[in-house]
Amino acid sequence: MRILLSNDDGILAPGLAALYRAVVDLGEVVVVAPSHPQSAAGHAITLRSPLTVQQVGLGAGREAFTALSVDGRPADCVRLAVRKLLPAPVDLVLAGINAGANVGINIFYSGTVAAAAEAAMLRLPAVAFSADVGAQEVDFDRAAGLCRWVLDRLLACGLHPGQLVNVNIPVLGPDRPRGVRVVPQSTAGVEDSYHRQEHPQGLESYRLGDSFSFAPAEGLTDVACLEEGYVTITPLKVDLTDPPRLDKLAEAQKTWPALPGQ
């Protein structure tokens, strides 16, 4: 199995190396990741500047491996790798392990999920892995072991071309994780704030604060279950269409007059 591994925290991120070590025995693992941190890059791609690719040595000793760094966005890395850099077809794309949860509407801002979503758009199976951050630093080795456990289960269930899965590891502790939950994405809003900044030229300037929280959500969702200490698994779709409203609008459209000028 040929696996493409990418992330949004950048080529030097500990979560990338930990995920590499956790899956390297599955086959040939090729790492193509952004040269610099790209958190919250979302699904951006680079249009008007070239993408520079450099080979980078990572890890040490028996765990040393080479990777390709790309001075672009996470989605750039996956498209460029699949379309140009890799000599043979990719069987599976993994993104992560992100330092920070990617649940609820934060999925839209996530470069980690975008890297995996890009793979799904390229008709490849893809999984995004993220680890929630608590008071302590993330234990990426332990998180990676959990990611591998989930990946083995997903592969056993069948992970097909174009299928995208979002996996989040909770803040770990002696009694965490408490288990695994397959749950839908929460759509609860994020509560955060912008702070007025001094600007050297006296212009109006704001910075987004570091802390945020989710608005209260009802039911079993990725946000609620991750907070409670469960590993969460959410299958996602690139198709954002809302089928009930599609049907309703399509029905309404039958009664609309002709377009102006027709």
Q: Which residues bind Mn ion (CB under 5 A)?
A: 8-9, 39, 98
In the complex, residue closest to Mn ion by CB: 39
Q: For Mn ion, which is the closer residue by CB, 6 or 232?
A: 6
Q: For Mn ion, which is the closer residue by CB, 14 or 162?
A: 14
Q: For Mn ion, which is the closer residue by CB, 45 or 86?
A: 45
Q: For Mn ion, which is the closer residue by CB, 8 or 222?
A: 8
> Smallest Cα–Cα separation from 95: which of 31, 169, 51?
31
Rounded to the nearest whole angstrom, what is the least distance from the CB of residue 168 to Mn ion in the complex?
Answer: 13
Rounded to the nearest whole angstrom, what is the least distance from the CB of residue 41 to Mn ion in the complex?
Answer: 8
Contact indicator for 132, 100 with CB cutoff of 8 Å: yes
Rounded to the nearest whole angstrom, what is the least distance from the CB of residue 98 to Mn ion in the complex?
Answer: 4
Rounded to the nearest whole angstrom, what is the least distance from the CB of residue 13 to Mn ion in the complex?
Answer: 8
